[in-house]
Structure 1
């Protein structure tokens, strides 16, 4: 999200000019906009030249023109399937095509500029706005998983895990083929890994494949005079993995966690690791599933709520509101609420456990009996 211009003061009226740049920005703005806010933007209106002549066969008499409109919002709707955000409200400024007070529905899309005005910008609204503008979804962790015959290149941020490239090796096992395989990985690395944003590169493989590729990578970078790679040798870390392409295994490695502790990618990864470790070592301090989590919250036991954004985007309005209220209530009670992106590796893991879980302040050994 790009903030073009802003005039904001805490707990005062104010406005901001916004351009949405990414898919997730639509969801962020959906949670920012409220009834009673006003939006100013361009929209298209249908104009009829000669109303008496307009029939199904004479549609040339209808055309659309662009006008600037200011509406006071009465309803906001987000449709994840079509990636659409629609706001409906009454027009505040009359023009030749639209009367004051007339209802209109605006479709908010990526790369479309609009002004949002609120009568009061509270701390939550300002914080959410600035977080959204910080490019939170930009990846700052790269992971390359190399097996004997294949490799995968991932970019990971705190909102998304992207599989950028898959490289397959030839079945013939000789040095020429091996170098061709490494060359493919090298090309994918150069294309997708930008050290202006990526702060750590993890190379994972069974055996010594990762060390062999690391040597090839630095040798090629030196030959091609790619100084940025050689200057960032300290950002690389090697991790041993099994024969499966286990991204989870890599991200839970203690050495990796230490290196990425200050990256944007780590919040969801660290929270889910803490939760999954508690399930194994101290299960009375962790729970998952709607009923268990709600019961734990009633007992003021939630230290951290883990919830997927899919639940907060549910088409079931009542269900969506229920979970949004739960998030607010947990925060009000002094707990943390971490929203996991469904496109992030940790979000996928949480979704397999109903999409909602909690780390507890104190053990609740009888929680299952309390919800029966």
Structure 2
């Protein structure tokens, strides 16, 4: 649950349980549909349901809800609402524009798996959503008999296949990555499409070209980052925002190794580099713009606007995406520079020197 200052005022249709009293004095209750305007105090985002719950006090006259009474409104896709704020900044407006663009919907799905474990994910423009986790105990192969092992593996593959059918919208998804160490991905795909032919599963057969096999070090969620970096699939993912973020972070790490004087992280260092017009690419996490400290939020907005005004590129990372989680470990702000900035390099040397004393 995230607390916010009470400055956001959504106006939307909602349901409210109200009590009614008849002429005889009997009291009953029923749910009514009504349009409310509340002053938001708390926000809760349900990633799995893709649902936003906002709670606050009613600030507009209503037949069913008293002024000042608390109410929770659920905001979801395709439900119209109006949001009022005291101040709108460029970053917020950009995020809204991206969210309202149909082209920004999730277009990549990934199944990261190993024997007995599979994570089915959707990679959207702003986050990695875990849709299902399949876990099955696989007995070891025994000399002379592999029956128990093979049966358990088949049950596991069947569960993963059903998870794909249930959780992946092939009308939107352009590419489904099947990743694993060893030959698990090949064996699973062989099983899946054999079953698709046998059971005439047109959903899988018609979208067979969207499946792409790629190596991963494990079946855990964190392996998704290395999958998205795999050169063999970058062409298929070239038009997705997620791939762009992963590549930008990869470029930053490469620059730190090859030319450390052109890669810095931390808001103070990046601000100084920007003052010298040296920032070529700014990497910044969206969680910084959700701070309750308005001055702090404004500081990051000014940095983003300034970098763009100076001809730099801004990559906004979601804290809910695997690449955003990594950037958050680097303070949430990093930059690739056009050229080294002497003051920053000297300061880094001084810091490392003082640390060794």
> What TM-score, normalized by structure 2, do the two folds share?
0.72
- The corresponding residue for 2:138 is 170
- The corresponding residue for 1:157 is 124
- The corresponding residue for 1:186 is 161
Unmatched 5+ stretches in structure 1? 1-22, 46-59
- The corresponding residue for 1:221 is 196
Secondary structure at the aligned position of 1:325 is classed as: helix
Deviations 1:264-304 (A, max 9, x none): 43232222222222222332222111222111111111122
1:218 to partner: Cα distance: 1.0
Match of 2:287 among 303, 310, 328: 310
Contact 2:10-2:37 at 8 Å conserved across structures: yes
Secondary structure at the aligned position of 2:234 is classed as: helix
Match of 2:336 among 328, 335, 359: 359
Contact 2:255-2:263 at 8 Å conserved across structures: yes
Distance 1:172 1:327, change over 3 A: same
- Separation in structure 2 between the aligned mates of residue 333 and residue 169 of structure 1, nearest angstrom: 56
- The corresponding residue for 1:15 is none
Match of 2:275 among 298, 313, 334: 298
- Separation in structure 2 between the aligned mates of residue 198 and residue 308 of structure 1, nearest angstrom: 25
> What TM-score, normalized by structure 1, do the two folds share?
0.69
Deviations 1:196-225 (A, max 9, x none): 111111122222111111111111111121
Contact 1:151-1:167 at 8 Å conserved across structures: yes
- Separation in structure 1 between the aligned mates of residue 328 and residue 126 of structure 2, nearest angstrom: 15
Contact 1:158-1:266 at 8 Å conserved across structures: no
Contact 2:112-2:219 at 8 Å conserved across structures: no
Contact 1:140-1:265 at 8 Å conserved across structures: no
1:240 to partner: Cα distance: 2.1
Contact 2:116-2:136 at 8 Å conserved across structures: yes
Unmatched 5+ stretches in structure 2? 17-26, 47-51, 352-357
- The corresponding residue for 2:242 is 265
Distance 1:113 1:234, change over 3 A: closer
- Separation in structure 2 between the aligned mates of residue 104 and residue 324 of structure 1, nearest angstrom: 34
Secondary structure at the aligned position of 1:238 is classed as: strand
Contact 2:113-2:218 at 8 Å conserved across structures: no
- The corresponding residue for 1:144 is 111
For these two proteins, the number of residue pairs brought into alignment is 323
Distance 1:125 1:265, change over 3 A: closer
Contact 2:108-2:124 at 8 Å conserved across structures: yes
Contact 1:139-1:160 at 8 Å conserved across structures: no
- Separation in structure 1 between the aligned mates of residue 95 and residue 181 of structure 2, nearest angstrom: 42
